[in-house]
């Protein structure tokens, strides 16, 4: 079945450092790919998405490019802030049905210090 593997955390960075969180996937067909973020005490919210190969999703300074050849969707940000401290989830949607269930990775906690 479909699966998502993302790097284990926590990832600890100083403010203004460069961030990469790796995500690779296994899926049949042509999934859509997502990054969700969960701030402390809150539910998940969509950060960015890409629906086909070579698409780049971007939002709030975060970017990720859908790489079909390496089955990857790594999350990057050039300069992190303390307010980016959260848990980040990579996910895929198989898109084979109208209701599109998502398969999530286990999440990566990011801690940014001043």
Partner 1 sequence: DVKVTQSSRYLVKRTGEKVFLECVQDMDHENMFWYRQDPGLGLRLIYFSYDVKMKEKGDIPEGYSVSREKKERFSLILESASTNQTSMYLCASSTTGGSNTGELFFGEGSRLTVL
Question: What residues make contact with partner 1 under the rule CB under 8 A?
Answer: 32, 34, 36, 41-46, 49, 51, 89, 93, 95, 98-102, 104-107
Which residues lie across from 109 on neighbouring strands? 87
Q: Is the bond into 10 cis (omega within 30 degrees of 0)?
A: yes
Nearest distance from C-beta of residue 114 to partner 1, angstroms: 26
Residue with tokens 């089955």: 71
What is the C-alpha to C-alpha distance for residues 114 and 13, in angstroms, rounded to an integer? 9
Is 14 or 96 the residue whose CB approaches partner 1 more closely? 96
* Dihedral (CA of 3, 108, 88, 24) sign: negative
Upper half-sphere CA count for residue 6 (Cβ side, 13 Å) = 28
Is 17 or 71 the residue whose CB approaches partner 1 more closely? 71
Nearest distance from C-beta of residue 90 to partner 1, angstroms: 10
CB 24, CB 72: distance < 8 Å: yes
Nearest distance from C-beta of residue 78 to partner 1, angstroms: 25
Nearest distance from C-beta of residue 34 to partner 1, angstroms: 7
Is 10 or 61 the residue whose CB approaches partner 1 more closely? 10
Is 17 or 38 the residue whose CB approaches partner 1 more closely? 38
């Amino acid at each position: 079945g479909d699966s998502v593997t993302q790097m284990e955390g926590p990832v600890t960075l100083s403010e203004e450092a460069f961030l990469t969180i790796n995500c690779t996937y296994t899926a049949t067909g042509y999934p859509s790919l997502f990054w969700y973020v969960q701030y402390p005490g809150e539910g998940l919210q969509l950060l960015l998405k890409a629906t086909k190969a070579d698409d780049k999703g971007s939002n709030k300074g975060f970017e990720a490019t859908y790489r079909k050849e390496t089955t990857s969707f790594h999350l990057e940000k050039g300069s992190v802030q303390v307010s980016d401290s959260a848990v980040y989830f990579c996910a895929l949607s198989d898109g084979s049905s109208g209701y599109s269930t998502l398969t999530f990775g286990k999440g990566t906690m990011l801690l940014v210090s001043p």
